[in-house]
Amino acid sequence: MTFVSDLEPKSLWRHFDQILTIPRGSKEEDRIRAYVVAQAEELAVPFQVDGTGNVVVSMPGTAGYEDRPVTILQSHLDMVNEKNSDVDHDFDKDPIKPREDGEYLTATGTTLGSDNGIGVAAMLAIMEATDLPHGPLELLFTVDEETGLTGASNLDPEMLRGRRLINLDSEEEGSLCVGCAGGADSALSLPISKMAAPEGSAALLVELKGLKGGHSGIDIHLQRGNATQLLTRALWAVAQEMEFHLASLEGGNKHNAIPREASAVVVLDGQNRTAFEAAMTAQLEAIRGEFRPAEPGMEFSISQVDEPKEIWDHDSTAKVMELVVALPHGVISMSYDIPGLVETSTNLATVKPQNGALTISLSSRSSVASALEALRQRIRGAASLAGASVEEGGGYPGWKPDLQSELLQVVRRVHERELGTEPKIEAIHAGLECGLIGEMIPGMDMISFGPHIEFPHSPDERVKIASVERFFNLLAATLEDLAKAS
């Protein structure tokens, strides 16, 4: 255990400290699920595990509140495994290394997993609490939220009796979330034709790194750079001046994280190496100046590498660059109804050569179904022009705000009383499992809140330590008020 266990509230932080030692990447939740089940078994609390791996722990109400309506608490077990390229860390076995940075808790070169580990730890602390009045509770721990909301999509609704749900996956303190965007992914495959590298060629590795990345939904409005698209933009500009071939282009790791790093292997006539390096440096310096306010850590390098046996032919090289530059990325439109809310966006998430083709994944979001479909049409159009095939996932629904929600009124009152401030009532430009659960179980009254978390899905992820105690106090007081008011 680490210093994290000594933070307040100790019951929550003790569980989070243990969670830091448990590998729990998306689709790899067996060990964290076993930890949750072990806690339930130790407390002799009934639990169920459905075929997808979701866990529901059923807790009776405390004395005097046994007959109250059931309240569901919900968090997801998985985390996004992201690290800086110069960090030696194996997410399958190495514990996350926490460190205190002023008023924040962060990790050492990797994601922290406070998204949604703090919510999971809060539910485990509620499970073992003996001094917290509450009605009957169902603690829903879902799996694989980060790579497609798989757990919520395949949840067995028969496991749940409750019809009001508190999701603990929000990341802005002082805000109550009452709605979210829907989304869908697009997977492109562009065939690549190869040829032997000509004699006298030089091979150069061009790398762009040091960008902030971040969550492809809640951080998309910050106008951070997409490393893959920016590197390709520079390459395409230089290609207008001189001929070269690509042998590789890669960037991004996760569909829901803005790419922070990208690289390309360029093969060209050795006599043109100096001119290429000068032109490429000029393009990347211009891009660095353009993005300096949002990306002060952006850096690039050009270095010689061994010449590959095969390179992409001229037509494939051109099509790859043209497609990556043409594909949409970032904010597409803002909401007309909620000031400051991104309505529609897309993340050009990953690019990598695979099985004789360049594969490209994009994650698109919108709170308006027709706008989401229009964006996917735009992606299909660009792919078609380049000769790429497209596969589209079924997507997930949004969550329409209900400002008359009884649950909202209770939490708002508790927030004002316990924290002394009136909360902001907001919708977010990210997918929450509430959308799927609400569609699956009509009439579910839902709200989402959480502590202050910044830069999720990136190694800069951090949680404000003091906000976690306030978040937990709000949750505990809400459960008590719901029991007394029912």
- Whether the Cβ atoms of residue 441 and residue 158 lie closer than 8 Å to each other: no
Residue located via tokens 């050492």: 108
Distance CA 174, CA 425 (A): 9
Write out the chain's pLDDT in tens, 486 residues: 999 999 999 999 999 999 999 999 999 999 999 999 999 999 999 999 999 999 999 999 999 999 999 999 999 999 999 999 899 999 999 999 999 999 999 999 999 999 999 999 999 999 999 999 999 999 999 999 998 789 999 999 999 999 999 999 999 999 999 999 999 999 999 999 999 999 889 999 999 999 999 999 989 999 999 999 999 999 999 999 999 999 999 999 888 899 999 999 999 999 999 999 999 999 999 999 999 999 999 999 999 999 999 999 999 999 999 999 999 999 999 988 778 889 999 999 999 999 999 999 999 999 888 999 999 999 999 999 999 999 998 788 889 888 899 999 999 999 999 999 999 999 889 888 999 999 899 999 999 999 999 999 889 999 999 999 999 999 999 999 999 986
Distance CA 58, CA 48 (A): 8
Please tell me the predicted confidence (pLDDT) of residue 486.
64
SS3 178: strand
Distance CA 350, CA 371 (A): 23
Token digits of residue 417? 């009383």
Handedness of CA 216, 119, 53, 38 (dihedral sign): positive
Quote the longest CA-to-CA distance of the chain. Answer: 85
Please tell me the predicted confidence (pLDDT) of residue 380.
98
Q: Which active-site residues does the annotation give?
A: 78, 145
DSSP 345: E
- Compute the residue count for the chain: 486
Q: Tell whether omega for the bond before 226 is within 30 degrees of 0, i.e. cis.
A: no
SS3 265: strand
Q: Considering only CA atoms, which of 63, 40, 57, 36 is closest in space to residue 134?
A: 63
- Whether the Cβ atoms of residue 112 and residue 96 lie closer than 8 Å to each other: yes
- Whether the Cβ atoms of residue 409 and residue 445 lie closer than 8 Å to each other: no
Report the topology of domain 3-181+398-485. Answer: Aminopeptidase (3.40.630)
Q: Using CA atoms of 125, 128, 129, 134 in order, give the dihedral in degrees to the nearest 10.
A: 90
Token digits of residue 420? 């002394």
DSSP 215: B
For the chain, the structural domain boundaries read 3-181+398-485, 184-392
Distance CA 180, CA 170 (A): 11
Q: Considering only CA atoms, which of 164, 134, 156, 124 is closest in space to residue 41?
A: 124
Distance CA 11, CA 18 (A): 11
Residue located via tokens 């952006």: 298
Q: Which CATH architecture has domain 184-392?
A: 2-Layer Sandwich (3.30)
